[in-house]
Structure 1
Amino acid sequence: MNVLVCLAGILFLLMIVIGGKKGVRSFIALFLNFGVLFFTVVFMTNPNANPIIITLVASVVISYINLFYINEVNVKTKMAFLSTMMTIVVLFLFIINVSKKAMIQGFGEEEIEELSVFSLYLGVDFVKIGAAVIIMSTIGALTDAAIAISSPMSEVLKHNPMISRKELFQSGINIGRDILGTSANTLFFAFFGGYMALLLWFKDLSYPAGEIANSKIFSAEIITILIAGTGVALIIPITSWITAYFLVSKGRKRKKGDNPPVH
């Protein structure tokens, strides 16, 4: 417990020194997001609840916390929030279909021994639970990519007010291309870091490559990474278009208001 407190204290101090007030809000947001995830899991255990609806509501709340609470309400966070919601809607049906056809719901054989003493008849739809897990795994990457694109685009417009909508959109795409590679690698290494013990299990038991690829746990995580990467790839043009459209439109309206016609 003392180690946890010390690490939290070090993180908190660093976030204050480097991030200032925004760093404090970011630290508090960690606990707010944890609270959202906790209540999401609690509500999902209700057999009468729909895990997908609960997850979508939780995704909206998490996006609100990560964008509006940490970075405050401004044009950048509004565009990032709108882009995130549009991307989630686009991915929603795709995630549901992939979860059903890939049959990644439930528990893998590597987990059965540990769970054998418990009843698996929980009365919940594990297909929807699997889809909910993918959505929740994707939302963080989407909000991160969205604000990472909308923020520099607003700076580009600020320093070059005469830029056209097409040029601003292309700037967003160029920024997104730099983000895409690092985001995909972040998701990839997060999986291998969290599932290193599973990989050692496969190694010690001499799993062949085909059996590893068809393992439910392994394939579920790889599918989550691929869908999250697809979401990041989709949100780049969506955020770039939305931000370019609204920022340039807002700039033109402001110019018309500043220069009324002379009679």
Structure 2
Amino acid sequence: MNVLVVLSIILFVLMAIVGGKKGVKSFIALFLNFGVLIITILVMNDPNANPIWLTLVACAFISAISLFYINDVNSKTTMAFFSTIITLLILFFFIIIITEKSMIQGFGAEESEELMTFSLFIGIDFIKVAASVIIMSTIGAIVDTAISITSPMREIHHHNPMITRKDLFLAGIRIGRDILGTSTNTLFFAFFGGYMGLLIWFKDLSYSFSEIINAKVFSDEMITIFTAGMGVALVIPIASWMTSYYLVTIGNKKK
């Protein structure tokens, strides 16, 4: 049996045992999000398609699947979804600017040898592709942080319905501060785990520190990590404010 099938079965069993019905839905959501990603890439091959807008639409679908399909439509998922979209839109302009200024699009010198036999004139704007990669790389961390803020805030309001909007907002910020450090560390070490071979290769070729940080393949990943970290930091106050406003102001008016 293929090792991927075995690992998928093990993952499914563990998620079903630990998460129950939500664990099964989370497993299915992995494949749904993978399908969205594949469709986005296939459509992106069309020279007339705009990779950035396609990525934004794909991120909206991924956010909806990750939030609404797994946790149903309720106040916590709705606030997490809107705070995710707002954060992405804020980061969008920064990502476009930083991608154009840093010139990280395309392939680095370390990757050029494997591509020498292929034509790079494929009719796609690699600047937009690079921006799309950064946008797509941030969505998972932002959604995860957003729901980690809105869910406990709803529980706090449920058990203390008389809490003020300011106190509920500050509670969300305190929760976010606990999440911020672990989320950024996860992003950072995910890079070093995935690129350990590249870093060893840099050492064997006696790259200096300045050559490493200026290598396109290295700076591309670091910019992605920093941007995702910015997204995590931004979504905390946005999700906290939106949730506190909705639960206290709008929620009390509905009663």
**TM-score range with shorter-chain normalisation?**
over 0.9
Q: Which contiguous aligned blocks of 4+ residues in structure 1 show a shift greater than 6 angstroms?
A: none
Distance 2:146 2:129 in 1: 26
1:133 maps to 133
Matched, 1:149 2:180: no
Q: How does 1:151-230 map to 2 (within 5 A)?
A: 151-230=151-230
Secondary structure of 1:161's partner?
coil
2:110 maps to 110
Deviation at 1:197, TM superposition (A): 1.2
Distance 1:252 1:9 in 2: 45
TM-score by length of 1: 0.95
Distance 2:186 2:93 in 1: 25
Partner letter of residue 42 of structure 1?
A: L
Secondary structure of 1:48's partner?
coil
Distance 1:87 1:3 in 2: 38
Aligned pair count reads 255
2:54 maps to 54
Gaps spanning 5+ residues in structure 1: where? Answer: 256-263
Distance 2:17 2:74 in 1: 24
1:259 maps to none
Matched, 1:91 2:91: yes
2:71 maps to 71
Q: Which is greater in Rg? A: 1
Partner letter of residue 109 of structure 2?
A: E
Deviation at 1:39, TM superposition (A): 1.0
Identity of aligned residues (%): 67
Per-residue displacement from partner, 1:26-58 (whole Å, max 9, x unpaired)? 000111111111111111111111001100100
Deviation at 1:4, TM superposition (A): 1.4
Partner letter of residue 144 of structure 2?
A: D
Deviation at 1:190, TM superposition (A): 0.7
1:121 maps to 121
1:7 maps to 7
Distance 1:118 1:35 in 2: 27
Deviation at 1:250, TM superposition (A): 3.3
Distance 2:62 2:158 in 1: 29
Distance 1:238 1:211 in 2: 38
Superposed CA RMSD: 0.8
Distance 1:183 1:138 in 2: 11
1:42 maps to 42
Deviation at 1:2, TM superposition (A): 2.3
Per-residue displacement from partner, 1:140-177 (whole Å, max 9, x unpaired)? 11100000000000000011111000000000000000
Per-residue displacement from partner, 1:200-253 (whole Å, max 9, x unpaired)? 110111100000000001000000000000010000000000000001023312
Distance 1:253 1:172 in 2: 21
